[in-house]
Amino acid sequence: MVKQIIVASGLSLVGCAGAQIAPEKFEESQASIRGAEEVGANDVPAAKLHLQLAKDQTEKAKKMSAAGDPAAELMLARARSDAELAVVLSREDSIRQEAVKATEDLKTLQDRGNP
């Protein structure tokens, strides 16, 4: 049993040493954030909120990672999920506007065609 405890402690130390997140993972998160910005997340209120959350959580994850906090990984995952949601919300807004316009165009066409 003593051996087990020693092994467990060793693993725990290894865990602490491995809490640093690989830079590529941050890069992935940053790419998601840039993607959201490019599709106009800043112009859609709901998307803008999640974009901001993604940014804040990425920064938080960086600090946690630097401090060797193992929860940094999940914080970064949260950031990524917000960034991805921001992208989808931005696209949703754009498609909704297209749908509204298409419906209005059709109505105008029908009204003009049937005086």
Partner 1 sequence: MSSHVLNRCFVGWVGMSWIAGCAAVPPKELLDARKQYEVSSTGPSAKLTPTELYEAKKSLTKADEEFDANGDTQAVRDYAYIAGRKISLADAKARTEADRQKATAAAKEGVGFRDAQVKSTQTALDSSRQEVQDLQRQNQANSQELETEKRGRMSAEGKLAGAIKDLADVAAVKEEARGVVITLSGGVLFASSKDVLLRTAQTKLDQVAEALKAESEDKGIVVEGHTDSRGAETTNQELSLRRATVVRDYLVSRGVSSSKITSKGLGEGRPLVDNNTAENRANNRRVEIVVAAAP
Tell me how far apart the 2 most distant CA atoms of the chain are, in Å. Answer: 91
Stretch that binds partner 1, among 11-19, 20-28, 29-37, 79-87 (CB under 8 A): 79-87
Question: At how many degrees (to 10) do helices 23-38 and 45-66 cross?
Answer: 170
Question: Which parts of 4-63 interact with partner 1 (CB under 8 A)?
Answer: 5, 50
- Rank residues 22 and 102 by Cβ distance to partner 1 and give the closer one: 102
Dihedrals phi, psi of 108, to nearest 5 degrees: -60, -45
Q: Which stretch binds partner 1 (CB under 8 A): 1-9, 11-19, 24-32, 34-42?
A: 1-9
Rounded Cα gap, residues 66 and 64, in angstroms: 5
Identify the sign of the CA torsion 107, 109, 113, 115.
positive
| Given 14, 22, 67, 102, the residue binding partner 1 (CB under 8 A) | 102
40 by DSSP, 3-state: which?
coil
**Binding region for partner 1 (CB under 8 A):** 1-2, 5, 50, 71, 74-75, 77-78, 81-82, 84-85, 88-89, 91-92, 95-96, 98-99, 101-103, 105-106, 109-110, 113
